[in-house]
Amino acid sequence: WQTLAARYRDNPGVLYDIHNEAHNTTWTAWRNRAVQIIEAIREVHPDALILVCGLDWAYDLRGWEADPLPFENIVYSTHPYPFKGEPWAWDKYFGRFAETHPVIAGEFGGGEADLVWGRRLIRYFNDKQMGWAAWSWVDSPHLTRDDRRTPTAFGRLVRLALQRHAGVDSVRLALTDLAVRNPGRDHATIAWKTSAPADSKVRYGMTEAYTDSVHAAVEVPDHAIRLSGLSPGTTYHYRVVSRDWYGDVVHSGDAIFETLP
């Protein structure tokens, strides 16, 4: 490690990932070994950015949550995969810790059957402000097919997420065709389209303070939210909001409609 640190200490693009997927050991043994490696690197490269994984093949960060390392510039690394656990477990094993410490998904990946899982995971990373790196170019699960150029279904998902992160205009979430359908005395339906499946929310009220809202969590490209319990002959202000799997949010400006007298 000191030889590597001497070679790369002047290169700001180099990170030190000190061990890949620790397992079959105790937190005490892994902590002692991690401290030993970190101290060796820091003797040569004091400002090195160092990645330290959890146990259970890097998935479980609870030991670091209970007793974080006493160093600066440490990033904790988790490796979530579909077989490691359901999304409800992410908070327990790494998400809660990511709210207070730098955490990266040093690996994640899946196959064609894991696209829903992958979308949920990437959105979770974004919500927790976690960095990530997708696996892999050379081993299963693959990001590309045998020609190493054509992305797999999961590879296309990763590419789209990277494009979203880079702000590529052609893949941004967009909102169109906003309309009020069939307003009655006590109801109205607000309809719109989004360029990708997203959830649906309408905020509304008699002023732009929008005292009420209706939300549908299902992600669809064609949206229709029915507002009921309205007052007859009344002008309402409303704004629609949609959020997609990636976490991108799009909303309309303030608009108005009137119920029938």
Look at residue 43 in the predicted model and tell me its pLDDT: 97
Look at residue 146 in the predicted model and tell me its pLDDT: 86
Look at residue 137 in the predicted model and tell me its pLDDT: 79
For 2-169, the fitting CATH number among 2.60.40.10, 3.30.70.20, 3.20.20.80, 3.90.180.10 is 3.20.20.80
The domain spans of the chain are 2-169, 172-258
Look at residue 86 in the predicted model and tell me its pLDDT: 82
Residue range 172-258 in CATH 3.30.200.20: no
Regions in the chain scoring below 50 on pLDDT? none
The CB density around residue 212, as the number of other CB atoms within 10 Å, is 14
In the Cβ-directed half-sphere of 251, how many Cα atoms lie within 13 Å? Answer: 12
Cα-Cα-Cα-Cα torsion 92, 95, 96, 99, nearest 10 degrees, comes to: 180
Give residue-wise pLDDT tens across range 161-211. 999 888 887 888 999 999 999 999 999 999 999 999 999 999 999 999 999
- Kindly report the pTM of this predicted structure: 0.83
Instruction: Label residues 132-160 b or e (16+ Cβ within 10 Å = b).
Output: bebbeeeeebbbeeeeeeeebebbebbeb
